[in-house]
A and B are shown apart, each in its own frame.
Chain A
Amino acid sequence: MPQTTIYAAPRSAGPQTPPPAVATVELARLFGRSAALAGVSLRVESGRTIALLGPNGAGKTTLLRILATAIRPSFGTAAVAGFDVAAAPELVRPQVAYLSHATGLYDDLTAEENLRFAATMLGRADGPDATRMALDEVGLATVARDRVRGFSAGMRRRLALGRLLLSRTPLVLLDEPHAALDAEGMRLVDRLMARWRDAGVTVLVASHQAERVTRQADGWARLDGGLLLEVGGEGVSAITATRSAPPLRAPAAVHR
């Protein structure tokens, strides 16, 4: 994969140009006095798989959490499909599926019940069928009726991946998707990423398995100390706030 350092601003998007999958402008996030993100301006085109690379504390998770509407930016803007994450989070949520560090599962519910619940929250009319397929896909069909309390970390991760499969969103955010998984589990993540890519889903994946994820990615962005150091490959570019901030969609223009 060609490695380039790009800070050239792309041209402003015209009115007929669809908004990028992700656009952040001078995005910053403070936790107390320390800045987890310190002015990241990034543009990710639709349908691309982009690897977010960097050491611990680089700001990868913070960036994903802001895009997933889990936390708000302190400064700057972030938009998903043209919708501002801070101003219109209710319009961003239907666009984003997010696999976070924590699995967010209910210990006293079975694997099947956890996914059924997620299917209802996601408005899936085919909840039981979709749940069965997702459990089968992540290799948990045989323990579908077991309570999650007894699951290993890897099984919980698989179940969280299964829940992700219930979302049919144009953007998937993966935070260390390979963590806690065995070799077969890691191959499962690779398969899912390939499938999303084939389906035209935009994927942002933060991982310390740099070699593994860049093999599948169209492009990559490297962060460190809350700063965007460099981007490379296709589908991702660094942008400057003054020249190329993509237009935000007006919430009223949306038909859900």
Chain B
Amino acid sequence: MNTLRADAAVAWAIARKDALAELRGRQAVGSTLFFAALVLLLFGFALGPDSRRLTEAAPGLLWLAIVFGGLLTVARLHQLEADDDALEELARYPIERRAIYAGKALAGLGAMLVLGGVLLPVVAILYGIDLAGAWPALVATLLLGAIGFAAVGTFYAGVTVRMRAREVMLPLLMLPVIAPLLLAAVKATSAALGGDPFGELGAWLQLLAGFDVVMLVAGAATYGYLLEE
């Protein structure tokens, strides 16, 4: 119990530290949000004013923008550690490796939730979608999708942080792994926005939850090896 409490304190301190650094590097946060919103805007222009077409495409485009923004975010959260060899310092503290993973994943989750929280209303405004009534399902989808993305993203950002071509390698390694998550998240978002006429929302949310559990356990168990040289 004491170990768990100590791990939680460490994870919270890491997440808090990352959040502080992220908030103080305002240009990075702002440009990520702007980039993700721009993706939505450009696709909106490309699809034209047909509201039915926009509504059908909205779930996929929303998650595409979240993935683009999320890739930048999880990479940056690890880049903080690469500057001035802070990651090596972090790895040398007498703390559990799973606590470091939990802290980084928690920071990633927070950033993803902010990203999703900003992009959802942007989608609603740009594509003229009424979100009223869909909020609970959308929030559940966003939360489960963000957890899975942060779990996988934290692991692969740890894999690539010491690579020279990390900006290329991170999406290359990560995107195939999160394909099931994206499929489930898009389907769940689609069901939520469409009123779930076929009753499939629950199944997609369950798939997301299962994905999250598997990835969190795998990440916590293996992240420590990434911190070794």
Whether B94 and A122, one on each chain, are in contact in the complex, defined by CB atoms closer than 8 angstroms, is yes
Which A residues are CB-close (under 8 A) to B17? 106, 109, 113, 117
> B90 near A: Cβ within 8 Å?
yes
Whether A70 and B86, one on each chain, are in contact in the complex, defined by CB atoms closer than 8 angstroms, is no
**CB contact between B84 and one of A69, A90, A103, A118 (< 8 Å): that residue:** A103
**CB contact between A94 and one of B6, B88, B94, B229 (< 8 Å): that residue:** B94
> A57 near B: Cβ within 8 Å?
no
Whether A104 and B21, one on each chain, are in contact in the complex, defined by CB atoms closer than 8 angstroms, is no
On chain A, the number of residues with a Cβ less than 8 Å from chain B's Cβ atoms is 27
Give the tally of cross-chain contacts (CB within 8 A): 67
Which A residues are CB-close (under 8 A) to B85? 100, 102, 104
**CB contact between B24 and one of A70, A98, A108 (< 8 Å): that residue:** A108
Give A98 to B91 CA distance when docked, in angstroms.
Answer: 12
Using known A-B contacts A120-B13, A123-B94, determine if residue A113 contacts B20 with beta carbons closer than 8 Å: yes
Which A residues are CB-close (under 8 A) to B6? 123
**CB contact between B88 and one of A70, A105, A120 (< 8 Å): that residue:** A70
Within residues 201 to 235 of chain A, which ones have a CB less than 8 A from any CB in chain B?
A: none
Whether A117 and B88, one on each chain, are in contact in the complex, defined by CB atoms closer than 8 angstroms, is no
Give A123 to B228 CA distance when docked, in angstroms.
Answer: 22
Whether A72 and B13, one on each chain, are in contact in the complex, defined by CB atoms closer than 8 angstroms, is no
Cβ distance A109 to chain B, nearest Cβ, rounded Å = 6
Whether A102 and B21, one on each chain, are in contact in the complex, defined by CB atoms closer than 8 angstroms, is no
Which B residues are CB-close (under 8 A) to A117? 13, 17
Report which B residues bind A (CB closer than 8 A): 6, 9-10, 13, 17, 20-21, 24-25, 80, 83-86, 88-95, 228-229
Report which A residues bind B (CB closer than 8 A): 68-72, 90, 93-94, 96, 98, 100, 102-109, 113, 117-118, 120-123, 147
